[in-house]
Structure 1
Amino acid sequence: MGAYLYLALAIAAEVTATVSLRFSEGFSRLGPSILVIAGYGFAFFALSQVLKAGLPIGVVYAVWAAAGVALVALVGVLFLKEPINLAMIAGILMVIGGVVLIELGSKA
C-alpha cells in the first residue's frame, strides 16, 4: 500500500475515533468506546507505515493533524449540528495554510 493511502486511512481512522469519543459518554458505552480505541490504534499503525515509507515526520504529522481538525469540525457542523462562525472558519483555514507552508518549506 502506498504511503499516501496509509496517510488517508490514518486521517479517516483518527476522525472516526475522535467523533466516537463524543458518543462514548466517558467510555461508558461499549460500541463507541471500541471505535475510539480501534480507530486511534489503527491511525497510529497507519502513521507508522507512512513514516516507514520515508515521508518526513513534520509534514506527515502536520497533514494528519490539520486534516483531522478540519474534518472533525466539518462532521460537527454537518452531522452533529454544532455551531460555526467566521472566526472558526478562519482558524481552520489558518491551520490548513500552516500545513501548506510546512509542505512548501520541506521542499526548499
Structure 2
Amino acid sequence: MKTRIIAAATLALLATPTLARHHDRDGNGPGRPPAIVLFTKPGFQGRSYFTDHEVRKLSHKDMDDKVSSIRVLGGVWQVCKDDDFDGRCEIVDRSMPDTSVINMDDKISSVRPVPPGMPGWRR
C-alpha cells in the first residue's frame, strides 16, 4: 500500500506544470536547487543515496567507492576520488547512467554542489 501511495505522489509531482517548466532533459534546471542521487549500479540501479548538500566522506553513508551512476536533480556537482574533495575531481552537470565514462566508476568518495559562477559551473 505504501508503495502505491509513494508512486502516486511522485507522479503527481512530476505532472505539476510549475515544476515541469523548469526542467531540462535531465530533470534539472537553472531554477532547481542542488540535489543529486548516487547509485551503486549503472543505469540508476542498485542502492541509492540522495543528498542536497556536500558530503565530505561517503564512507559515512556506506557509499564510498561504490557509485556507478548519478542522477542530477538540480545544480552542478563536483565528485571527487578522495575524502574532503581531494584527489581527482570531475564536474557533473547532468545525469550520468555510467560513471565509467569519466573513469570514476566505484571511485567517488566525496560530492558537493558547485556554486553558480565558480569554475566548472557551465549553466
Give the TM-score, by structure 2 length.
0.29
Q: Greater relative contact order (Cα 8 A, min sep 6): structure 1 or 2?
A: 1
Bigger fraction of residues in strand: 2
Q: Comparing both structures, which one devotes a greater share of its residues to helix?
A: 1
